[in-house]
Amino acid sequence: MLSSAFFFIRHGDLRRPQERDDENALRKKGIGLDPAKMAMERERRAPNQPIGWCVVQLDENYNWWVEKTDRPSDNSDEERLSILDPKQVEYVFDLLESLREYGLQGDVVLRAFLPFSIEKDLGGGRVRLRITEEELGKSEEKLFALPNTFGEAGHYAEFLDHISLLRAKLLNDTYSFVQRLTVTELEEGVRENCELEGQPALHVFQEIAGILEYSPMGFEPEKEEEDAENLTKGVEEEWTA
């Protein structure tokens, strides 16, 4: 749970065993514990990632948005980035399980997100995160997941196309529609549902859950709606306690 993670942020050592081993290795190289030098060394040895760290802010709907990163940007109109918190990551991965028998590709899922671990609680609903090599869905650590929309590879867009296709297959296999549901019809339905929510910007969780929980009008299962409501309630309780 997020609450336990933040207990250790406030009261304990944030470093994982690997990070402590890294510091010992840096000492042997003569870098010592100088924060700036240590950060530069970690950045140099880290995998080639578009972002090394970011600061995220919790909004009034208990969703997280990226406030700033170490990535230089000269585009003032750049779309605001949203990020999945650990509870939302778990919820999404649970929904993805239903698509395995329809050909879900794990590599497509993992390429679509950049995993981040909690580095520091900045207070006021703001947290500093750092890129990690931990794997989403397998790590015991509670990870945030940022959509990988950087560069020209289009990994996140590929993921959305992939799960839209598989969700359409699942629905056609589950219900006896007069005509088979097409991916285009699914995408149009998801877009209409998102517009009805009236949010100024679509959060990544709404976008993904909108696809993975989509059913045509008249075929909506009640359980999925209840699960989403319970998730929001759980996040609210943790952050208002």
pLDDT in tens, 125-155: 999 999 999 999 888 899 999 999 987 778 9
Per-residue confidence (pLDDT) for residue 162, from 0 to 100: 97
Q: What is the pLDDT of residue 150?
A: 85
- Other beta carbons within 10 angstroms of residue 32's beta carbon come to 10
Q: Which residues of the chain have pLDDT under 70?
A: 1-48, 73-79, 196-200, 220, 222-241
Q: What is the per-residue pLDDT for 223?
A: 57
Task: Give domain limits for the chain.
Answer: 1-45, 46-240
Please report the pLDDT score of residue 12 as a whole number. 37
pLDDT of 7 reads 30
pLDDT at 112: 96
